[in-house]
């Protein structure tokens, strides 16, 4: 029990990593959108651009809840080439964050190559933190986007269909240079989301003008809002196109600064006043002394549009959509009812497929999973063995990276995201349907965002390899299922979720429920 308690302290904020990746990628995107007024009804920014810019540099200080935590620099360079004229947009960002008491240094680098009309030719993005690195490259040819991801020591490739006007996912900074803006004008952009490798629409609107104090003077600025996947980013932009301030979800603010001011930053000098995971945790109105022993729980969830979330699954039922009443009952499944592996029912084919981050077809993943199974064919027994192996062999460390199964297997460390991703890859590789679940789990008076797997062993069962639970305790409240592309949905609601605990029980669900 003491082991489980110590591991529970390592619960990490999965959503923060998702948010940061979305935010950082967009520093490349919206900075290359030098906009002029679009014709009425137009949906392409590229149609309004002119290649007049030769060089532009912008420095921003990054602040979290009022405290400086980093800086960002973006440059745009004109490429004078007879063969491939265009622009190179380069972003370098450095910041430090605190998650569950652990300070983490994070570096993001991104490079975007465009043609004369600012249409994307290729891009590269790197995210580095605490010895972990992931790189995603893309090259657009016609309407085919060739993608490659370097994870650990291995490269994974994929091709998707994309619009000729597609850009990277947008985020922290909407616009570097914005001539001829007018209140009420709206732009629509096709955006590539590197998390899901799919294209989505972003809407950029000039909502109006307002006074803003800058350099000791009052200046009139445009207020520009960018809406992407239900999340809104706001920028304050001068008539000459200078971005003075940007506000983002989750408490980040970027402020225009001179180079010397922005870069004058020491990570070891940051006095952390705010732990991001704790700030975004959902307070509990009831204290649960032994959360890992709970087998039943009822709670009301509110503050969000319940229809946008997956609130039913392994052991969880939405009893009353009108009041948000949930019932969680975690039962140990019957081994005799578990099918043999591999599970071949086509209904579960989706949960057996590999993906760019869940590489269940990788040779090392397959070899390890087969070894863990040890000749056993009962799906529940194998699922439990994989759960125990991941718990025993992956070091519990708060990690700020995109979770990749092959990298986790190489580094043997990570938080809930890494544990879950590796587990799902191992399970799928031996024919056990598995999926990633995102939700909340109780820890010291609050519910923290967390990831854990669900596996099909005759019925869907929630396990938790991060906490070493073959059946997840009943304080696991499911919100979504799927990879990082689905987790991005949490950004629009993460600070709105409210919970009221109705009752909980340490007894099996069949026994009388004990209210607290």
- CA dihedral for 152, 485, 447, 281, sign (positive or negative): positive
Give the up-direction half-sphere exposure of residue 343: CA atoms within 13 A in the CB hemisphere: 28
Q: Quick count: other Cβ atoms within 10 Å of Cβ 4?
A: 17
Rounded distance between C-alpha atoms, residue 516 and residue 297, angstroms: 10
Rounded distance between C-alpha atoms, residue 366 and residue 329, angstroms: 32
Query: Which residues, listed in sequence order, are joined to residue 320 by a DSSP beta bridge?
Result: 325
Q: Is the link from the previous residue into 342 a cis peptide, with omega within 30 of 0?
A: yes
Q: Which residues of 342-351 are buried (b: 16+ CB within 10 A; e: fewer)?
A: ebeeeebeeb
Rounded distance between C-alpha atoms, residue 412 and residue 396, angstroms: 9
pLDDT of residue 445: 92
pLDDT of residue 5: 40
Residue-wise pLDDT tens digits, 319-362: 999 999 999 999 889 999 999 999 999 999 999 999 888 999 99
Give, for 125, the enclosing helix (H) or strand (E): strand 120-129
- CA dihedral for 437, 485, 407, 10, sign (positive or negative): negative
17 DSSP assignment: H
Rounded distance between C-alpha atoms, residue 450 and residue 494, angstroms: 12
Please name the residues in contact with 375: beta carbons below 8 A apart, sequence gap of 6 or more: none
Q: Quick count: other Cβ atoms within 10 Å of Cβ 219?
A: 15
Helices 363-373 & 416-429, crossing angle to 10 degrees? 80
Q: What is the mean pLDDT of the chain?
A: 80
DSSP string, 202-224: EEEEEEEEEEEEETTEEEEEEEE
Residue-wise pLDDT tens digits, 420-469: 999 999 999 999 999 999 999 999 999 998 999 999 999 999 999 999 99
Residue-wise pLDDT tens digits, 43-87: 333 333 344 556 778 898 988 878 888 998 888 788 887 778 888
Residue 203 has pLDDT above 70, yes or no: yes
Give the predicted TM-score (pTM) of the model: 0.81
Contact 180, 50 (CB under 8 A): no
């Amino acid at each position: 029990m003491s082991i489980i308690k110590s591991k529970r302290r390592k619960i990490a904020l999965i959503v923060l990593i998702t948010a940061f990746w979305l935010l950082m990628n967009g520093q490349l995107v919206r900075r290359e959108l030098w906009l002029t007024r679009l014709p009425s009804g137009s949906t392409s920014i590229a149609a309004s651009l002119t290649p007049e810019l030769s060089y532009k540099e912008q420095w921003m200080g990054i602040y979290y809840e009022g405290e400086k935590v980093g800086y960002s620099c973006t440059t745009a360079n004109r490429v004078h080439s007879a063969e491939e004229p265009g622009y190179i947009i380069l972003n370098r960002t450095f910041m430090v964050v605190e998650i569950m008491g652990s300070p983490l240094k994070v570096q993001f680098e991104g490079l975007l190559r465009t043609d004369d009309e600012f249409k994307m030719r290729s891009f590269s993005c790197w995210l580095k933190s605490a010895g972990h690195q992931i790189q995603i490259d893309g090259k657009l040819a016609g309407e085919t986007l060739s993608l490659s991801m370097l994870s650990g020591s291995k490269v994974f490739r994929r091709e998707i269909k994309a619009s000729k006007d597609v850009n990277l996912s947008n985020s922290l900074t909407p616009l570097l240079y914005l001539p001829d803006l007018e209140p009420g004008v709206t732009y629509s952009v096709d955006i590539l989301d590197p998390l899901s490798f799919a294209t989505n629409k972003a809407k950029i609107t000039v909502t109006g003008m307002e006074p803003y104090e800058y350099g000791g003077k009052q200046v009139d600025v445009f207020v520009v809002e960018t809406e992407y996947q239900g999340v809104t980013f706001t920028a304050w932009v001068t008539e000459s196109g200078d971005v003075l301030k940007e506000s983002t979800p989750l408490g980040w603010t970027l402020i225009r600064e001179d180079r010397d001011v922005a870069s004058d930053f020491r990570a070891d000098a940051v006095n952390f006043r705010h732990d991001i995971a704790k700030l975004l945790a959902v307070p509990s109105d009831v204290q649960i002394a032994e959360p890992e022993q709970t087998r039943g729980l009822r709670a009301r969830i509110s503050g969000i549009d319940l229809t946008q979330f997956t609130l039913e699954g392994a052991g969880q039922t939405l009893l009353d959509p009108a009041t948000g009443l949930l019932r969680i009952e975690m039962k140990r499944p019957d081994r005799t009812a578990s099918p043999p592996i591999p599970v071949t029912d086509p209904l579960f084919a989706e949960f057996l497929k590999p993906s760019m981050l869940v590489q269940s077809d990788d040779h090392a993943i397959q070899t390890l999973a087969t070894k863990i199974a040890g000749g056993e064919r009962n799906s529940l027994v194998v699922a439990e063995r994989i759960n125990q192996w991941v718990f025993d062999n992956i070091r519990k460390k708060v990690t700020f990276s995109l979770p990749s199964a092959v990298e986790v297997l190489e580094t043997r460390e990570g938080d809930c995201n890494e544990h879950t991703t590796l587990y799902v890859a191992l399970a799928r590789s031996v024919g056990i349907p598995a999926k990633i679940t995102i939700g909340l789990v109780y820890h010291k008076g609050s519910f923290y965002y967390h990831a854990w797997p669900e596996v099909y062993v005759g019925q869907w069962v929630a396990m938790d390899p991060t906490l070493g639970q073959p059946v997840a305790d009943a304080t696991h409240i499911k919100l979504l299922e799927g990879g990082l592309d689905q987790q991005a949905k949490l950004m629009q609601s993460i600070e709105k979720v409210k919970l009221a605990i109705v009752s909980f029980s340490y007894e099996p669900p069949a026994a009388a429920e004990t209210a607290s």
